[in-house]
Structure 1
Amino acid sequence: MTENLPSLSELDLALVNALQINPRAPWTELAKALDIDAATVARRWERLRTAGHAWVTAYPFGGSGAGALIEIDCAPGQAGAVAELLSADPHAVTVEHAAGGRDLLITAMATSFGALSRYIVDRLGTIPGITATRAHLVTRSYTEGSVWRLTSLNRSQQEALAASRRSALGGSQHLPEYAELVTAIGENGRMSLSELAETLGVSVNTASRRLNRLLESGRLVLRCDLTRSLSGSPVAVTFFGTVSPEHLDSTARELAKLPEIRQCLGLAGPQNLIATVWVSSLVDAQDLEVRLASSLPHLRIADRAVALRAVKLMGRLLDPDGRAIGFVPMNLWA
């Protein structure tokens, strides 16, 4: 664990776990699940949020958008400057220093394949200090960070919170119409409806209706994150794998069920499956790889990238200890 950071209490971890399940749950619901009073819940969350230890982000997902994981090589001594420059880009939603054959690993998102192509070619191709890039284009998401959970709550607590959350119906809500809303709520997924309405210049009812439509459609995702070093799983490793096409879906679905998996994506390229795991140590990462070789016979791990330092996580700017210190709106329509 990072020496500069205190450990979180069991109640703090339980609160984060509760908000992972239902990020916009009222304080009264959270209090009931945690068996404490609502004022204590609100006060503890504000302390966590203000300290940069935990936060709720909202971001666009699915639809006609496009994404890529991009490996970046930098000139000697330039990785820090390049990472800082990229972290200001709304399309570079996650930026990490990484070991194992690349200097940086970033996640890029755009509203279309054409927009993503322009970002990779026209933006990354002109940044001083970048010597090479390797883009892995996403074809399908099997799981991502909003699904990852702590295990601080018991089953009945989890079920109670899950039952009160609206389910994603997979509708066809058109995101660009709500680009302003997506951008407005991005930094604080728990933003009140009155504050959201004031920001958008609409009534509270209109803001509520638009937000609920987006959440129901699955085109807007809410995610509660916490400082990785305080999660009990401080080491992040991204595995680049290959699977024969006929076994890709079944292998990826099984892989996505594992509790260590933060992200599992299908890719177009030499490696067609990528998975990011959070584990307690590098030894655990190696042990997990051994287990994968045994349980998923069609998967071949071709490469591994160990995160050395996260600079940005889904728009959230992080300090060297992983605390949230700012936010770059994920305005993919910019």
Structure 2
Amino acid sequence: MTETLPSLSELDLALVNALQINPRATWTELAKALDIDAATVARRWERLRAAGHAWVTAYPYGGSGAGALIEIDCAPGQAGAVAELLSADPHAVTVEHAAGGRDLLITAMATSFGALSGYIVDRLGTIAGITATRAHLVTRSYTEGSVWRLTSLSRSQQEVLAASRRSALGDAQHLPEYAELVTAMGENGRMSLSELAETLGISVNTASRRLNRLLEAGRLVIRCDLARSLSGSPVAVTFFGTVAAEHLDSTARELAKLPEIRQCLGLAGPQNLIATVWVSSLVDAQALEVRLAAALPHLRIADRAVALRAVKLMGRLLDPDGRAVGFVPMNLWE
């Protein structure tokens, strides 16, 4: 039996919202936006982090990498064991139990299409307890979890934090050169430059230069997450949709603008658009689907997967209440 998590205070929610906007903001920058002292900000964040209520993760993005959303069917009684086994895989970055025609839904990432294919065929194909898999290969990401926001801050507070955040310029970088840096920062995206330098055995200036180049290139994502049960939107639903090819981009872009959307991906296959939403209830999920049908006439939702329990979220291991209790490094080069 799971326990009921305590609700977060308005200040805690505001702090999480601030770190969603600028995950590496200094305590001073956060204090200025929240109108409290820096010591209070640091103390509040440490309490949230230690309790597993919120955390900051870093992971690779874009480039020549490949990803897939994979539905997994399991033999009776084996879903828990399979989920636990997969949660130890660096390539299975997100793992959750799901309802509606599949036992598990995982997000897999790899450094190339070949590596992703190998993971699906050679790894998933040999795990005892898995009876079938259906892989949806990602062709394009229209939005993902680092863009999703709480709405606890005023516009002026958001602007203060956004102004200090480094923007992504989209310059190409050879990410494998920085694989060790990306992996090192995975568990704590707020790792200080001195800690990063010590971990990598390089100077602080070199660590700063490499990190900034990755951030400027948009090749490293740093994001603040919180336990979904504390977000005000405890229900996650993934919609599997189909859109005529000529309308895919325009439909996906409009879909990605909705505040409920956590993830919107273009896919290769008969279902060519997937969207994951966080909502307050299943009733709200159905109401959202009705709204989508009216607003996006080219979108046909073919299937839905409701998350029953998240086991892992972008490398972070979760307990049944959604609190962070561990981390599996997302070393996609392993």
| Superposition TM-score tier, normalisation by shorter sequence | over 0.9
Residues 18-47 of structure 1 show CA distances to partners (whole Å, capped at 9, x for unaligned) of 000000000000000000000000000000
Q: Report the counterpart of residue 201 of structure 1 in structure 2.
A: 201
In the alignment, the residues of structure 1 paired with residue 218 and residue 29 of structure 2 have an alpha-carbon distance, to the nearest angstrom, of 23
Q: Deviations over 1:225-278 (max 9, x none)?
A: 000000000000000000000000000000000000000000001100000000
Matched-pair contact (CA < 8 Å) for 2:2–2:320: no
SS at match of 1:146: coil
Q: 1:154 to 1:2 in 2, by over 3 A?
A: farther
Distance 1:313 1:171 in 2: 28
Instruction: Return the alpha-carbon distance in structure 2 between the equivalents of residues 96 and 333 of structure 1.
Output: 23
Gaps spanning 5+ residues in structure 1: where? none
What is the rounded CA distance, in whole Å, between the counterparts of 2:217 and 2:186 in structure 1?
A: 17
CA distance in 2, matches of 1:160, 1:36: 14
- 1:88 positional shift: 0.2
Moved over 2 A (4+): 1-4
- Cα deviation code 1:108-160 (max 9, x no counterpart): 00000000000000000000000000000000000000000000000000011
Residues 189-228 of structure 1: CA distance to partner in whole angstroms, max 9, x if unpaired?
0000000000000000000000000011000000100000
- The alignment partner of 2:307 has SS state of strand
Q: What is the CA-CA distance between 1:4 and the residue it aligns to?
A: 2.4
| SS of residue paired to 2:149 | coil
* Count of matched residue positions in the alignment of Structure 1 and Structure 2: 334
Shift of 1:2: 7.1
Measured after TM superposition, the shift of residue 9 of structure 1 is 0.2
1:54-78 deviations in Å (ceiling 9; x for gaps): 0000000000000000000000000
> Which deviations, in whole Å up to 9, do the C-alpha atoms of 1:154-200 show, x marking residues without a partner?
00000110011010000101100000000000000000000000000
- Give the corresponding residue for 1:272: 272
Name 2:231's counterpart in structure 1: 231
- Other structure's SS at 1:311 match: strand
Query: TM-score normalised to the size of structure 2?
Result: 0.99
- What SS is found at the alignment partner of 2:146? helix
Q: Is the Cα contact below 8 Å between 2:266 and 2:274 reproduced in 1?
A: yes
Q: Give identity over the alignment, percent.
A: 93
**Cα drift, residue 3 of structure 1:** 4.5
Q: Which runs of 5+ in 2 are unaligned?
A: none
SS at match of 1:211: helix
Aligned to 1:139: 139
CA–CA separation in structure 1 for the residues paired with 2:300 and 2:290: 11
Q: Deviations over 1:305-329 (max 9, x none)?
A: 0000000000000000000000000
> Contact 1:2–1:229 (CA<8 Å) still a contact in 2?
no
